[in-house]
Each structure stands twice: as C-alpha cells, then as structure tokens.
Structure 1
C-alpha cells in the first residue's frame, strides 16, 4: 500500500507536466525496485536524472503511519540517498531538480529532506548538517571522503540505501574516480544491500565503465534510446587560407560569431581554455558594447557568486550569450539555451556531444553545436566529427590502475572514520576495479608508509599517521594530524592559486600564482572580462583596481592543451583520404579544398594505409615533417624518440615542434632521412621489447625532471606534503621545495619507494601516453612510408615551422616573417584562385592569433583593403 501511494503521487506529478515515461525510465524504476544496481547511458537531456531519482523515491519513500496525535511533528528520515556530482556547480542545480518531486509527495508520505554539501556550502549550513544530515545529500567525491573521515561515519552513512554517481564518464578516467570507487566499497561494507547507479551520456566502453563503478557486483546496463535531433555544423570563413598556422583564424571569425549570437535567443560559446574565454569575451564586448549586461563570462577561476549569477541568468533567459569553458560542460539544466558554439577544435567526439547537449536540454528538443575553426585544418575535424557521431564512435575511458597515493590517503581517511582491521580492509579494497589485482606486498608497503612513512621517515613523528591499538584496530593517534588530513583530502592537484580582489571591494576570483609572480605593481591584466591593474600582492591575495587604455596580459592556467583523441584523429585521416580520391562531400571539405589540393600537388595527403613524411632544406637546416595524427602528447614522445635514435648514429642537436597532426625535427646539419627514417621508426621486437621501448623513451627525454614534477602531485595526494590550513595556503615554490626534498631523500635512502615508481608510471601513461605511443608505432609498422622531398613548405608543414618560430628569439618580427613567407608560398601556388565561388586575394593573411592583448591587423587591412565577412554555411542536420 505504501509504495502504491508514492507511485500514484509521482505519476500525477509527472503527468501534470505533460510527460510520459520513456521505456528506459520504466526499466530503471523496475531495476531499482528489485534492489539491483546498474548504469544508465542515455543522451543528454533525455531524462536520466528523473529515471534514477523517481525510481529511488518509489523504492525507498514510505507512507506515513497514522500519528497518535494530529499535532505530532514528523521526523525526517536519516540519510538514505547519496547523489555524487563531479562539480560543485552541478550540486545546486541537481538539488533543485531533486526537490521538485519531493514537494509533490505531500502529507501522505514520510517526509524527506534534501540538501547539498560541497566546497561552496556555507559554514552555517555545514554546521547544521553536522548535527543531522538530510535524507538525500548532493555532494562531491571530496566531501564524501570527508564524511567517511568522521568519527561517527558508520552511524551517519550506515543507513544509505542508494548511491548515485552523476556524469560518471567525467570521473572514471582519473584519480577522483578511484576515490569514488574506494568510498563506494566502504559504503558496501556498512550496508551490503546498497544500490549503486551511475549515469553518463558519452562513453564508448560501457561494460568496462560499469565494472569500474560496481566492482565485483553484478549490475544492469540500461541504454536510453530516445530519438533526439542533433545538428553539428561549422561556421566557415569566406576563404580558407592555404598556408595556415595554429590560431590564425581566431578572432577574424568574430563578425560571423556575433551574427550567429544575434540571430539566437541564448547561446553558449565554449572555449577550451580560460585564457581563450577571457579573450573572446572581451572581443565580443568591444565589438558590441550595447550587449554589456547581456553577455557574461563563466569559468572555474571566477568567484562562486559570479558563477551563480551567470547560471541564474542563463536559467531565466536574461543572458544572450555566455563565453565559458568546461565549467558548463556537465548536466546543469539551461532550457533557454538555443545554440552552442565551439571555438576551436573540440579535441574529441565525447566532448563535442557533451557540449552539444547543453542546447535543447530536454526530451524532444533538438541540440545544435556549431564549430568555429581557429585553424584551416580544424574544418576537416568538423566533417570528421559528424561522421564519427553517425557511426557511434565515442572515446573510451579507463580507470587508473592501483594509484598507491590515493590508497594511502584512503587508509588515513578510514582510520579517522572509526578505524580498520588490515585484513578486512584489504579484501574491501580489492573489491574495486582499480585495486582488484593489488598484491599483498603493495598492501603491506602502504600500511608501513602510513605507520611510519617508510624506512627513511621513521624517525619523524609527523609520518606516524596511523597505528594499531591494543585490539588491532588501526587509528589516527594525533588530533593535529587528523585535522591536517581532513583539510587536505582530495585528489585534485593544481598550481597554487591566489585570490584576486578589489582594493576595498569584493573578491573576483583566483589566478595561478605563477602568473601573478611575474607581474609588478602597475602591470595590467585581463580577468573576468575586466581590465585590472595590480596594486600589490599580500597574504596570498592580488589586490587590484579597474584600469583602462593599457595593453593587458591574459592569465594562463594549467591544463589548457588537450590532445586530439584517437577516435577523432582517425576520422580526420579518413576524411583526408576521401579528399585524396577527389571526394569533397561536405561543406567543410569544400571550403578547405584549396589547401588540400596544394598539399596533394606539392606532397601527398595522409591515408590510413600510408604514413606521410616530408623533408625540406632551408637556411635553418634540415627539416623532417612526420604526420602520425596521434595527438600532441604522443607526437612529443615520438619526436624525442626519433631524435634520440638518430643521435645514436651520430651526435646531433634537434629542435622539435609538435601539433595534433604531426611533428617537426630540425637539425642544423644535413640528415640522410631516406636512409635513417625506416630504421628509427622500427618498433622493438622479441623478449623485452616493451621494456626496451620504455628505456628509449625515458632516455630521449628529461625524464627525471618530468617524473619529479609528477611526484609533487603524488606527494600532495599521499599526504607527504600539505597545502596548509585556511588562511595559510602554501605557495607553489614551498610545495615544490618540499616535494623535491622528499624526492631526493627517497632516491638516496629508499630507492624502492613505491611512490617513486608511481611517478614514473604516471609520467609514461598520462603525460607521454606510452600505450598510445606504442600503438602508433605498431600502426606505423603496418603503413607504407611515403617520403616526399619538398621544394618549399606545404600547407601541413607550414604550421609546424611557425610553431618553431614562436619558440625562438629573433630581432625579426615573427608576424612579418610569417606574412612574407605566406606571400612567397601563395606566389608559388599560383596567386589568386577560385574556390567554391570565392576569389582569393594573393598575399592576404588572416592574422588573428589568440594571445595577450589585441591581435595584429590582417595583412589585407595593412594594405588598405577590407573584405566583408562571408556568410556562414551551416550543414544539414545529422
């Protein structure tokens, strides 16, 4: 009777909105009612939240029993549902979505309360939650770990009957996902019947993802096949430059972007970096000053109040456009958003789909994303992405394997939350996908590490963090160490940041310390869409005031350069192969046809069966250009490996330039590439081949320095170093000095330290992508090498030469030199050409490089000629 009352109330609420349950929603409801765990994979805006949430309400909400007195006040249920989100920005929005059906249940059911707990939660609300947690709690992985670290953790979390992990794809491939796996294992220990559900819209390896979420538990995989119209089109320039370089289009596309925004009600303009977002926001405001107050900026370094104001403006439809980064990638529900523009390459199919889903975020509404290229070859990516989406090709994400720094942190967390018995916790940890093959040796090492810091730190009391008591239960013996651990729980590691605040005014946000450290009082920078002048730096705060009329720098944040994914790269090569056969079937390929035809005429186009290499001799020396299309991280590793192998034959010095499509090796002396290249591209064979490749890659790079930088993050997560208490945040120099000291001590006195080995493994797996590098060499071994000697740079090699110019100091202005080279190349290519009915003007150069300050004027403008922007050419719906 109880479940029928709840179901009737929810059905009435659902129908009142004109909604009918989809088949996948009913399937989730039934699975939850049967007590099963699982994962739901459905398109963005299809109704995943209510599929899981209404299932939980129907399964766990109880009808209220008749009260002895009509004045009896009902008592809310204990914490029953945990709802994990990867971002704080999602917590408030998710909470609002969960509260709506709660209000519809009325007085017939036992009351449920709802709340959120994250880094944005106020101290007053946090204090109230410490007394009594709500029935459903929306929280983050870090906040859940803090709950597990409470002395009464088992009492507080032991009643949880369901845990939901939203946007599981966002957590799966990193250490935060491992943190979630360990936390869920702890919850299963306290409540073996707990149901665990994950939700995602963009995953290519669904069964592996579900295994990472559920561990050894069986689950049901539900896929929501909801018809949804998706439009992927491109905003094309009037003319595609035949000799482009990275960012060369950039802000020259601004008139077309303004036109598209003006024609839509509300638009999200996504960029890949916060620096790029700052530049585009300022450019839009200068182009349309009357839009002040109607357009906004949103990224993770802005203050919470600023971000919340923008989000509310989007929800209410008061904002016409928001320039944003991945801070708005995930499931925040902005129904008024009609269009999404992506500035530059999305770098991956999954990211493209995720951002497209921000528009039309409701069942039955179409989603549309328009790509705005900043490089001519990026137009090919637009066509390739549409083909990959139609074929259902989405990137896979894999859980990290046995990160011991996360496990060490978890041991201290569990020791704070009531303590643990080693053998019991070992079996619990091995129930997760990340640690299912954890050896007894590694487990024992972790125990010894938290007990005394290993053999080299045994004399220091600060590293005796967990010790067994008389009953054999391991606990944290020191209240000071307990406080320090709770303040530093988490796996998010970034450069130290400092607050940006007006003198005598409000806080604006935060920037990386390394950026501000290079500035002096009076310098100006662009932040939050404002021109700011630095007044002073004091107490980890950059005090600023408004400025105008001065050239500004743009803050740079870490993590800005994402590599092109394998899935999208393979699709791009397929498109180039079609062009090589004379098939220009999409508007993007038609637009970029002049570039591709010159590339084919002077050299060749890459195909899946061939590896294109080009050689060129200039006054700088001997150039090799190679195009594996494997992403910039792999290209850096390949370029370094090839240079190292060549140097084994004869001592040489190489300069290296990389982009997502290929790399360049430049030697001041002549290199016989036709003879050497087939040898240096070989993959080691036989016994020990994998170890030999690892040795060569590490030898070819400054691996020690790279691994030491990676060790700093590991030392922070494992608790060797900490970032300080509130108000005393340590600088990046202090953290680096501390981690460097541990690095040297371990190498000298504890060379078998597992954290040193982990630093090397993470360097290979994440920064150098050794698995992808090996796969590239294996693919190269099956391809036919096409080696083309060049008389002049090709459209593909020219961007790599420009990358190298940018790294060199010269008395000659780089922009002028590039402009002169373009004119020479255009002359060699035959001057003015007609492509798609558009006449090219010989020697013109659309220079809109995205960097500090205003972009230089195009060469055509310097000559007094102005060309009006060509209209965009949208593509048909997918």
Structure 2
C-alpha cells in the first residue's frame, strides 16, 4: 500500500489523471489542518480534491487491522444524493485497499442500518442537515463524534441562503465545541458572493480556494419556426415538441429540465404520445415520485440505458451522470446560477464540454435566452445570503440540544453566538428563547405541552418527558410544505403499490372518478382516506395535472439586468445573435406601437378598453417585487383619489386596471418615491394575512404545531387552524413574541423582496418616465392582459378569448409591418 502522502497521487496515476493545482492546494491545506471553501466548475473534480485530501491526512491515523472510527462527516443537501455520493467516495477505498467504511444516514436509512451505526459509526458518514441534528440529540452523541476530524459540506450554495443552512451552522457549532481542531470544507460551483459564503461557513476564518473555472459551457437556443408577435405564458412550450424530439433523437443521452413538476409530467406524456417507440427509453424524475422509481431512473442514467429523462430540480445537484451528452432547458431558467448548475449535468468530467440548449415557451423568452448567455459569459452569478436570527430554528435547536445529555444555558449561548446567523443575538432574545422552550413564554404557561424543557438542580436543561422527546424528533428540520398525501394503486385487499406523493391542496379539488396525470400515467381517483389517495388506471383522454407549490420562480436581478441590456440594444437597432434576429419582428412592432424599454427609461403604457383604464409598467424586477410595486403604487395613488384596481404581474412588469380614469402621468413620480417604503408596503398589502400564512411554517419549525405521527398526519387545514390560534393569542396577549416579528420580517424579505423593492425604486427614480397611450395592447402589454384574465376565466374560455384577441391584433400588426416596410423601401 502506498504511503499516506502518496495516496492521492497514486490513485490519480492509476487512472492516467493528473491533479489540478487547486486539488493539490486543498490536499496540502487539509494536511495542515486548515479549513476552507472550494469553488470550482461543476465536474472539475471538487469531490476528489477534498476526499483524497482527507485520505492523505487521516489514513495513517488508525490501526489498519480494523476499520477506522468516524473520521469524515459528508453533508449533502438532498438525501437522494447520499447513496450516489457514498458510491463515489468508495471507489478510491477499494482500489487503494484502505480499511475505511462508508455509511449513509438519511430519512431512507433502514432501521437495521441505524442500529449498526449506533453500535459503531462508519469511518465516513454521508448525511443531511436534518439527520445530523437527529444524531446530535442522542445521549452518546459526544462519544459518537469523538474521533471526527473533517466535515465536508457539499453543494454549500444550496444551503447557504435558507433555514436548512442555519440549522447546519448550529450543528457545526456543536461539533466544533466537542472538536476545537475540526477541519471544515465547503464545496460549491455556483456562487456570486464567495466572501460571504466563506464567512458563514467558517466564522473564525478559512481559506478560499478558487478551482478550475475554465470549463467550456455551450449555451444555444432552439429558435421556433414561427415567432408569435403576441406572446403569453401558460402553454408549457409544447409547440416546441417536434424540435425538442429531434434534439433528443440526435443525442445519445439527454436531460430535459423543466421548472415545475406539472410541466415535467406534461412534457413526458407528450413525448411518449409523439414517440411510442421511446417507451422504456425515456423516463420521468421529480421529487414527488416514489423512491424506487427515482432510484431506477438514476441507475439507468449512470448505465447509459436511457435516451432522455424529463426532470425538475430533483436532478440539479451532485449526482454524477457521466454518459449525459447534453441538457435541454424548457422555458427560462430564471437565474444564471440555476442555468450553470443544470448545464453542468452534461459533460460531467474535467475537460468535457457542458452543453445546454434553451427551449423558449413563448417568444419573449428568446430575449431571455440571449440575455442569459450574455450574463453567463460575463460571470454574473446570483448572490445568496444567510438568514439572520431565525428564532424558530433557534427554538427547535434548544429543544434538540436538551435531548440526550442536555445543555447549560451560558455555554450554549456562546456556542450559538459563534455562528454567523446568530452572531448578533442579544441577551434579551436569548432569555426569551429559553423562556419559550421552558414554559411557552408569557402566554402558554398553563399548557403542559409547551413546558418542553426543564432546568434540573445540576444546572443542566433537559427535555421534560419522553413523549415530548419523541414528538420533537419527528419534527426536526426546517422543510415545511403543503401536507402531502401518499398516492397508491387501489386494491380490494388493501393498499397497492406506492406511486409517490401529491399535495393535499391538489387532491382536495378532485372528486372520486376524476382523472389525474401523475408519473406519466393517466389515473382515476378512487378514494381518499388516512392521508392516502387511492387511484387506478384510467382510459380518459384528458386529466388534471398534479400541481405542487413553489412553481413560480422569480427572474433574478442579474438575468433581469441582462434582459434590459438586450432590449436597450434592440431599441438602438442592434440585434446580435440568432435569438434577437428571430424576435426582431415582435420588438419592431412593440417599438412602433409604443417603445422598447432601455437602461435609461422606465416604460409605462396606458390603454382604455371595455374592461376599464389600464396602466402597464415595466420595471423588470421579477414577479414578487413587481407585485409589491403594483400594490404600493395603487395604495399611494388611492390616498390622492378614490381608486379601486385589479392587479396582474409577470417577471417583466405589472398591470393596474381601474374602473375610472386615472392621470398616471401626474401620479407616478410621487407613487414611485423610495421614501417611507416599509410603512407604505405594510399598509398597501394585507400584510397580516400574509404573516399568518408564514407563521404556519414558523410554528411548525418551532414545535408549536405538531404535524402528526407518520400514520396519522394532520391536514394543512388543521395545521393552519392551529397556527392561526397561536398567532391570535400571541398578537393579543404576547405582542413581544419574537416569532410574530419573524413572520412579518420573512414576508417582507422573502415574499415581497423588500430589499430588491427598495433598490428598484431607487433605480427607477433615476430613469426617465417614458409614458405611451396605446390604441391597442402591444406585445408586452398583451402578456399582462392574459395574466389578468387568467384569474377570472376557465382554461377553455381563456384559450378562446386569447385566440380572438390575437386574431384581431394580428390584423392590425400586419398593417403596421406593411406600412413600416413601405417606409423603408421609400427611404432606400
């Protein structure tokens, strides 16, 4: 066996590989006991930079006659990645003959394997943030991690910006307390704010290693054969099916990414209907499918036996599918980091080109495609920021640490404050959290279920009862979503094969006998009982498509800026690239009937129709920020004159539809002022109702609301009702409850994007208002009109209405384009 210092070089040489400079740098840093963050392109060798560094540094530290004790903890953001990661880490061990063992600990780990790990931890444990916290609640947790030397946080960018990352920060603080010399390394490929990412992961400091970023990424676009001059979102892009099919046919292996599970279901079904001969050669993959179905797809991808997989973000991360030749992205990726991540699923090896083909679902996405390539070439990747002072996560952590050996408040306070997320935690906030877990704060002291932690005479705080301990362990984690129902085939003798899960809110809209599309199959709902929806095969031709929350991702600031730059260039007659040449007729029509947005102007349009008086404004701020702007402007104008408006938004802008005339030219300058933003936003929205919805998630994370035991889960309605009661009790009798303030802050920060809203108002104040009175809706306004009608018309009626509107508008557009062509001929 090679000496420890030669392990990495020996293994690389056995494969005819030569280590990159960044890999050698990480190896040496780990040998010196240094922590850091490694940022490098997807598929450039980050995993082996850290893993082989660990083997070089620690392989000699154990008796070769028996397996090494726990040395490395490998954190992955998705349990679906755990098994794949474990297989990748096993390869060098087998070839080098090292006596290390690798185990996986996640929600999918069997009870037998958990029992084995309880007796003896593997040398390397691959786990998730939630499972790590569960391990920390064990009585013998300190002994379990006594030999730990290295923690690797894979895909750090996926955890950094959310509460799962906060949960991990707290877990790392506990491990550092037990092992002050613990080495921690983060791995990431798509981060735009590396100093912050490094500081959050390593508050005491660490090295930033910039790996290979020269990986070639080819971004191209499938240009539609016909360009719609009046585009609208909502048809899933299925008009591009023949071209997508041709691209799949021309490649040995492809991933077809969609942004929603519903879209994935429709595209998979459409591909199979168009190509029955592909049955068994193409597959569907999303997070709601049963685990055995997802595992089969992942194995088949690795083996290269599938021609294509239609998928969602469930295949965004980490899994190494070397045979995949290319990626197709249906619709806008909405962000540069997401596009980069998905592109890296192809050519997933050093030296190989990654290729992603953008498939627009409507004409304006051609401009987005051109903008995405421009932003990607310029390296404009979105930043992600850690949440601060998430008190619900802190409350949960206090109870978790009170399990097992318990905690001393003063010691835990310093430990918690050592994290970036809680470095500004004040003594008063800490005392509130202690009081809340001890007796429910000032308003719940009479209820034993909220006296969850008790202070013992020895000064150690422990969970008060075994019943509360069991209940808490079932609720550990920060992932809160709509309650899910299991989907199973119906059989007379009982439940049949599991197909996966759907959200309760979708099933609640169906009745027995209705058809639904799931997993590429048309199914008939038989009955719903005990949080399970039973189905059977259906011969129906039409079916409701299962829908899940979270489908509307806002356009990122970086992509929005690149989009405006492209429109600005078009306004000045510069059309660069195939996409911009293809969409030129649409943009020419927009400029003729109104104007194009530019970097120096804020485009606004007015229109009087049978529906009323319309204002269309185009800040290009993303869906959520545009919604905040629309409500803010409507509320500010209503203080000057009585005003009742309806609102429609998309990523580009918003529509305000009033029942009476409004002089927008007079009102807009004052309505767009950045002064008193916070107060006006709160007043302009039903912020109380939004905070109540957000409080349901906070209440679940903090353990106020129990989601139920595995066989008896509570419905979303029950959870909302329970959390609503707490919300009202706190609001009336405990106004200083920090969870109330957190609910409001999260609404402002995450749902209304208040920072982006403020930045957008400041930016808009420096732009010249370019206001145009329309005779008829132009291409940009038409998309917003459709958004407004979507709320009041059924799908069939909406399609008929759109068809009539487009026919009328196309006649006018043809006359305009003919007139423009005649003008050009006369000039020449």
TM bracket, shorter-chain basis: over 0.9
Q: Give the counterpart of 2:33 among 29, 32, 35.
A: 35
1:219 counterpart residue number: 206
- 1:649 and 2:640 matched: yes
Using a 3 Å threshold, how does the CA distance of structure 1 residues 446 and 335 change in structure 2: closer, same or farther? same
1:345 counterpart residue number: 332
What is the rounded CA distance, in whole Å, between the counterparts of 1:798 and 1:379 in structure 2?
Answer: 17
Q: Give the counterpart of 2:688 among 697, 700, 704.
A: 704
Q: Which has the higher contact order (CA 8 A, sep 6+)?
A: 1
Contact 1:476–1:482 (8 Å) recurs in 2: yes
SS in 2 for 1:665: strand
The within-5 A match list for 1:54-65 is: 54-62=52-60
What is the rounded CA distance, in whole Å, between the counterparts of 1:632 and 1:659 in structure 2?
Answer: 5
1:255 counterpart residue number: 242
Contact 2:5–2:57 (8 Å) recurs in 1: no
Could you tell me how far 1:814 is from its partner in structure 2?
Answer: 2.4
The within-5 A match list for 1:133-282 is: 133-215=121-203, 217-248=204-235, 250-282=237-269
What is the rounded CA distance, in whole Å, between the counterparts of 1:600 and 1:641 in structure 2?
Answer: 28
- 1:390 and 2:374 matched: no
What is the rounded CA distance, in whole Å, between the counterparts of 1:237 and 1:757 in structure 2?
Answer: 49
- 1:561 and 2:552 matched: yes
Q: Give the counterpart of 1:454 among 435, 441, 453.
A: 441
What is the rounded CA distance, in whole Å, between the counterparts of 1:577 and 1:256 in structure 2?
Answer: 30
1:437 counterpart residue number: 424
What is the rounded CA distance, in whole Å, between the counterparts of 1:193 and 1:243 in structure 2?
Answer: 62
| TM-score (norm: length of structure 2) | 0.97
Using a 3 Å threshold, how does the CA distance of structure 1 residues 248 and 541 change in structure 2: closer, same or farther? closer
What is the rounded CA distance, in whole Å, between the counterparts of 1:87 and 1:427 in structure 2?
Answer: 30
Using a 3 Å threshold, how does the CA distance of structure 1 residues 811 and 650 change in structure 2: closer, same or farther? farther
Question: How big is each residue's C-alpha offset from its partner over 1:186-207, in whole Å with a ceiling of 9 and x where there is no partner?
Answer: 0000000000000000000001
What is the rounded CA distance, in whole Å, between the counterparts of 2:266 and 2:310 in structure 1?
Answer: 10
The gaps in structure 1 that reach 5 residues or longer are: 67-73, 685-691, 838-878
SS in 1 for 2:779: coil
What is the rounded CA distance, in whole Å, between the counterparts of 1:304 and 1:203 in structure 2?
Answer: 30
The gaps in structure 2 that reach 5 residues or longer are: 822-828
Using a 3 Å threshold, how does the CA distance of structure 1 residues 781 and 290 change in structure 2: closer, same or farther? same
Could you tell me how far 1:64 is from its partner in structure 2?
Answer: 6.4
1:543 counterpart residue number: 534
What is the rounded CA distance, in whole Å, between the counterparts of 2:235 and 2:617 in structure 1?
Answer: 21
Q: Give the counterpart of 1:326 among 299, 309, 313.
A: 313
What is the rounded CA distance, in whole Å, between the counterparts of 1:580 and 1:721 in structure 2?
Answer: 54
Using a 3 Å threshold, how does the CA distance of structure 1 residues 113 and 183 change in structure 2: closer, same or farther? same
SS in 1 for 2:633: helix
What is the rounded CA distance, in whole Å, between the counterparts of 2:437 and 2:118 in structure 1?
Answer: 28
Contact 2:62–2:68 (8 Å) recurs in 1: no
Could you tell me how far 1:10 is from its partner in structure 2?
Answer: 3.6
What is the rounded CA distance, in whole Å, between the counterparts of 2:121 and 2:817 in structure 1?
Answer: 70
Could you tell me how far 1:700 is from its partner in structure 2?
Answer: 1.0
The within-5 A match list for 1:798-837 is: 798-809=782-793, 813-830=797-814
Query: Which stretch shows the higher mean deviation, 425-434 or 361-370?
Result: 425-434
1:854 counterpart residue number: none
1:115 counterpart residue number: 103
Could you tell me how far 1:812 is from its partner in structure 2?
Answer: 9.3
| TM-score (norm: length of structure 1) | 0.91
SS in 2 for 1:829: helix
1:126 counterpart residue number: 114
1:791 counterpart residue number: 775
Question: How big is each residue's C-alpha offset from its partner over 1:400-440, in whole Å with a ceiling of 9 and x where there is no partner?
Answer: 01100000100111111411111111111111111111111
1:421 counterpart residue number: 408
- 1:765 and 2:749 matched: yes
Q: Give the counterpart of 2:668 among 649, 673, 677.
A: 677
1:782 counterpart residue number: 766
Contact 1:10–1:104 (8 Å) recurs in 2: no
SS in 1 for 2:356: strand
Could you tell me how far 1:104 is from its partner in structure 2?
Answer: 2.2
- 1:381 and 2:381 matched: no
Could you tell me how far 1:824 is from its partner in structure 2?
Answer: 1.8
What is the rounded CA distance, in whole Å, between the counterparts of 2:673 and 2:401 in structure 1?
Answer: 49
Contact 2:499–2:519 (8 Å) recurs in 1: yes
Contact 1:487–1:725 (8 Å) recurs in 2: yes
Question: How big is each residue's C-alpha offset from its partner over 1:590-641, in whole Å with a ceiling of 9 and x where there is no partner?
Answer: 0100011111111111112111101111111110000000000001000001
What is the rounded CA distance, in whole Å, between the counterparts of 1:64 and 1:486 in structure 2?
Answer: 34
SS in 1 for 2:549: coil
Contact 1:249–1:376 (8 Å) recurs in 2: no
SS in 2 for 1:56: helix
| C-alpha RMSD of the superposition | 1.5
SS in 2 for 1:506: strand
2:478 counterpart residue number: 491
Question: How big is each residue's C-alpha offset from its partner over 1:840-867, in whole Å with a ceiling of 9 and x where there is no partner?
Answer: xxxxxxxxxxxxxxxxxxxxxxxxxxxx
Question: How big is each residue's C-alpha offset from its partner over 1:227-256, in whole Å with a ceiling of 9 and x where there is no partner?
Answer: 322100101101211111113571000000
Using a 3 Å threshold, how does the CA distance of structure 1 residues 813 and 9 change in structure 2: closer, same or farther? closer
1:870 counterpart residue number: none
What is the rounded CA distance, in whole Å, between the counterparts of 2:319 and 2:541 in structure 1?
Answer: 37
Query: Which stretch shows the higher mean deviation, 784-793 or 34-43?
Result: 784-793
SS in 1 for 2:639: helix
Using a 3 Å threshold, how does the CA distance of structure 1 residues 251 and 446 change in structure 2: closer, same or farther? same
Contact 2:39–2:209 (8 Å) recurs in 1: yes
Could you tell me how far 1:810 is from its partner in structure 2?
Answer: 8.0
- 1:358 and 2:345 matched: yes
- 1:756 and 2:709 matched: no
Contact 1:29–1:54 (8 Å) recurs in 2: yes
Could you tell me how far 1:833 is from its partner in structure 2?
Answer: 6.2
Question: How big is each residue's C-alpha offset from its partner over 1:246-294, in whole Å with a ceiling of 9 and x where there is no partner?
Answer: 1357100000000000000010000000000000000001000110000
What is the rounded CA distance, in whole Å, between the counterparts of 1:8 and 1:629 in structure 2?
Answer: 54
- 1:579 and 2:570 matched: yes
Question: How big is each residue's C-alpha offset from its partner over 1:667-710, in whole Å with a ceiling of 9 and x where there is no partner?
Answer: 011111111111211121xxxxxxx3212111111111110000
Contact 2:518–2:546 (8 Å) recurs in 1: yes
SS in 2 for 1:830: helix
- 1:600 and 2:591 matched: yes
SS in 2 for 1:503: strand
Query: Which stretch shows the higher mean deviation, 188-197 or 544-553?
Result: 544-553
1:14 counterpart residue number: 12
Could you tell me how far 1:225 is from its partner in structure 2?
Answer: 2.3
What is the rounded CA distance, in whole Å, between the counterparts of 1:218 and 1:433 in structure 2?
Answer: 11
SS in 2 for 1:319: coil
Could you tell me how far 1:832 is from its partner in structure 2?
Answer: 9.8
SS in 2 for 1:467: strand
How many residues matched? 815
What is the rounded CA distance, in whole Å, between the counterparts of 1:53 and 1:474 in structure 2?
Answer: 38
Contact 2:527–2:533 (8 Å) recurs in 1: yes
SS in 2 for 1:20: coil
Using a 3 Å threshold, how does the CA distance of structure 1 residues 622 and 162 change in structure 2: closer, same or farther? same
What is the rounded CA distance, in whole Å, between the counterparts of 1:294 and 1:729 in structure 2?
Answer: 37
Could you tell me how far 1:831 is from its partner in structure 2?
Answer: 5.1
Contact 1:154–1:417 (8 Å) recurs in 2: no
SS in 2 for 1:578: helix
2:84 counterpart residue number: 93
What is the rounded CA distance, in whole Å, between the counterparts of 1:492 and 1:207 in structure 2?
Answer: 26
Using a 3 Å threshold, how does the CA distance of structure 1 residues 547 and 831 change in structure 2: closer, same or farther? farther
What is the rounded CA distance, in whole Å, between the counterparts of 1:421 and 1:605 in structure 2?
Answer: 63
Contact 2:690–2:747 (8 Å) recurs in 1: yes
